[in-house]
Amino acid sequence: MEIIIQPTAEAATRVAARIIARLLREKPDAVLGLATGSTPVLLYHDLTALKLDWSRVTTFNLDEYIGLDAAHPQSYHTFMWENLFQHINIARENVHIPDGNAKDIPKSCAKYEQQIKAAGGIDLQVLGIGTNGHIGFNEPTSSLASRTRIKTLTQQTLKENARFFGSEDRVPHHVITMGIGTILEARQNLLLAFGQGKARAIADAVEGPVSSLNPASVLQMHPVTQICLDEPAAGQLKRADYYRWVYDNKPDWQRV
Ligand code: GLP
């Protein structure tokens, strides 16, 4: 795990945007895994400003609410088109987001997994983290080997996501999410977390035991994971000084 601590969310986002930009320049037909939530909004803004060529890029989103129309203002379809896709030259047929309205959801989840395989697997997966350590919508106690499937949200997540829906009772209880096993197969993972509210989840994920109680902790088992944090999100890391020292002393050829 590479822990990159920056003074602000803006600075941490710039590092993440550079990592993705480099990949797209080196591999114009890259397959990206994308995330939603408030955390990556700035990232998508920065990526748009970089005017990269997305014409051959394929994307797979982590998750979607079940039962929301794709056009619903809070669907992750709407989020992705508003925050990224409508601003870049991506081909519509290269965009993949789980279908929360599929008639046969387990079948559509299996198809999603097949589509990821058929695309050659995910080169880089963008991740946020819930305050309970969830990645995608893999809530605590999710199987660490799980694949794309239906999950029920925890009451904590329902409460936290109520801010987007106006009230808790409007938040769908069920979602489709890539599994933890799916995420682990991405060739690179790039997790972003900002603010003091994420500090506990980050400390447990980075320095705690690998446990389904904090699903992000499974990234300790992944060979290429970068975690971009602002100072408040890094606030509970015991070895923060070491991570800063490593990043400041990187050889030039490793810098992004
Ligand atoms: C959401 C998403 C996750 C996201 C997380 C944190 O519910 N399903 O992919 O990483 O919760 O959200 P935020 O970035 O708004 O803090």
Range scoring the smallest mean pLDDT among 124-128, 135-139, 158-162, 175-179: 158-162
Query: Annotated catalytic sites, by residue?
Result: 63, 132, 134, 139
- Is residue 161 within 6 Å of ligand 1 at its C-beta? yes
* pLDDT over threshold 90, residue 253: no
For a pocket test of ligand 1, which of 43, 75, 134, 156 has the largest count of ligand atoms closer than 8 A to its C-beta? 134
Between the CA of 35 and the centroid of ligand 1 the distance, in Å, is: 8
Predicted structure pTM score: 0.97
Q: How far is the CA of 39 from the centre of ligand 1 (A)?
A: 7
> What is the three-class DSSP state of 6?
strand
Name the helix (H) or strand (E) containing 34. strand 31-34
Sequence-ordered list of residues with C-beta below 8 angstroms from that of 115, at least 6 positions apart, any chain: 60, 96
What is the whole-number distance in angstroms between the Cα of residue 164 and the centre of ligand 1? 11
pLDDT digits (tens, 9 = 90+) for 165-206: 999 999 999 999 999 999 999 999 999 999 999 999 999 999
Pocket mutation for ligand 1, best pick of 135, 137, 196 (most atoms within 8 Å of C-beta): 137
| pLDDT band of 124, cuts 50, 70, 90 | very high
CB atoms within 10 A of CB 135: 29
Task: Answer yes or no: is pLDDT of 131 > 90.
Answer: yes
134: exposed, middle or buried (Cβ count in 10 Å: 0-12, 13-18, 19+): buried
- Interval 53-112: pLDDT, tens: 999 999 999 999 999 999 999 999 999 999 999 999 999 999 999 999 999 999 999 999
- Cα–Cα distances (Å) from 200 to 81, 193, 245, in that order, read 31, 11, 22
